[in-house]
């Protein structure tokens, strides 16, 4: 199956679990900004205002006409580098959504999630609008990083009884803590933040790192182990910055994260997630 930009989607079957722990999927694109020498850490996007006007027109034409300003207009743009300023939905409270700011475009979705192929068409639309709307994009749009993140919240419904045991036995992440470290903690479960991380330099996509990170959190009112499956490319070659290249990176990254999730999760937890529901491409 080919997408609108000619990218070949994988022929392997995509699926969702019946009781999936998914919280949100985020695709993020960053481009180069101009540093402000007199204000270290701040930067400007000299073409952002023109880009915003054009992008808003295009994304509204595509059906995303509910516009949400995220910060007051009085906030100086140089303080908002790589931070979303405007959000676009099809209607109030509806997902997916787009966010733009100086140097950044994000595409976000939450459950009910209909699978990668469904979400990918919104990523493609975002990429298309970015390259079409950014002034003289072939000259001034310099992509510097790409990021795809899946946020999952595992609770007791997904087999989490002891968080450390879950990380060790069901995600293959945690090592045994030195008893001297444990002795420093108060006698409460929340006294110690059980955290674990995995980082992999990938074969494909090239110059991309996959990260799996875990921390304590909440899912509604229930304690949860929050696991982020993430791919990041912050070393993009000039020859890889076209719209099709960016779209291809997201496609390849999804394949990696899909396989990583399935490989890391124990059979015990997979059974608790329920049946695999096949998604038509």
The answer to whether residue 63 is domain-embedded is: yes
Domain region containing 201: 14-279
Q: In total, how many domains does the chain have?
A: 1
The answer to whether residue 3 is domain-embedded is: no
Per-residue confidence (pLDDT) for residue 11, from 0 to 100: 45
The answer to whether residue 167 is domain-embedded is: yes
Report yes or no: 109 and 119 within 8 Å, Cβ to Cβ. Answer: yes
Per-residue confidence (pLDDT) for residue 209, from 0 to 100: 96
User: Is 16 buried (19+), middle (13-18) or exposed (0-12) by CB count in 10 A?
Assistant: buried
The answer to whether residue 95 is domain-embedded is: yes
The answer to whether residue 9 is domain-embedded is: no
pLDDT per residue as tens, the chain (281 positions):
444 444 444 445 688 899 999 999 999 999 999 998 777 778 999 999 999 999 999 999 999 999 999 999 889 888 899 999 999 999 999 999 999 999 999 999 999 999 999 999 999 999 999 999 999 999 999 999 999 999 999 999 999 998 888 988 999 886 666 677 666 666 554 444 455 789 999 999 999 999 999 988 999 899 999 999 999 999 998 888 999 999 999 999 999 999 999 999 999 999 999 998 887 65
CA 22 to CA 152: how far, in whole Å? 4
The answer to whether residue 245 is domain-embedded is: yes
User: Is 104 buried (19+), middle (13-18) or exposed (0-12) by CB count in 10 A?
Assistant: buried
SS (H, E, C) 184-211: CCCCCHHHCCCCEEEEEECCCCCCCEEE
pTM value is 0.90
Structure token pair of residue 213:
């990170």
CA 6 to CA 8: how far, in whole Å? 6
The answer to whether residue 8 is domain-embedded is: no
Structure token pair of residue 24:
């949100």
């Amino acid at each position: 199956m080919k997408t609108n930009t000619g990218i070949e989607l994988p022929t392997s079957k995509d699926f969702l679990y019946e009781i999936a722990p998914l919280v949100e999927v985020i695709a993020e694109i960053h481009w180069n900004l101009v540093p402000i020498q007199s204000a270290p850490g701040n930067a400007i996007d000299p073409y952002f205002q023109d880009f915003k006007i054009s992008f808003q027109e295009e994304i509204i034409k595509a059906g995303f006409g509910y516009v949400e300003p995220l910060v007051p207009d009085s906030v100086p743009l140089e303080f908002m580098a790589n931070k979303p300023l405007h959000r676009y939905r099809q209607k109030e409270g509806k997902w997916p959504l787009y966010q733009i700011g100086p140097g950044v475009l994000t595409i976000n979705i939450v459950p009910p999630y209909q699978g990668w192929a469904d979400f990918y068409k919104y990523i493609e639309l975002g990429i298309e609008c970015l390259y079409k709307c950014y002034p003289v994009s072939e000259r001034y749009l310099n992509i510097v990083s790409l990021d795809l993140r899946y946020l999952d919240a595992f609770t007791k419904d997904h087999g989490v009884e002891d968080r450390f045991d879950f990380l060790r036995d069901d995600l293959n992440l945690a090592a045994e803590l030195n008893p001297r470290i444990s002795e420093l903690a108060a006698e409460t479960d929340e006294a110690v933040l059980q955290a674990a991380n995995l980082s992999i330099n990938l074969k494909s996509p090239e110059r991309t790192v996959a990260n799996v990170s875990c921390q304590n959190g909440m899912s509604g009112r229930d304690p949860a182990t929050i696991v982020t499956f993430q791919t990041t490319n912050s070393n993009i070659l000039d020859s890889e910055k076209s719209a099709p290249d960016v779209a291809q990176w997201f496609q390849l990254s999804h394949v990696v994260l899909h396989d990583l999730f399935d490989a890391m999760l124990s059979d015990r937890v997979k059974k608790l997630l329920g049946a695999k529901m096949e998604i038509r491409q």
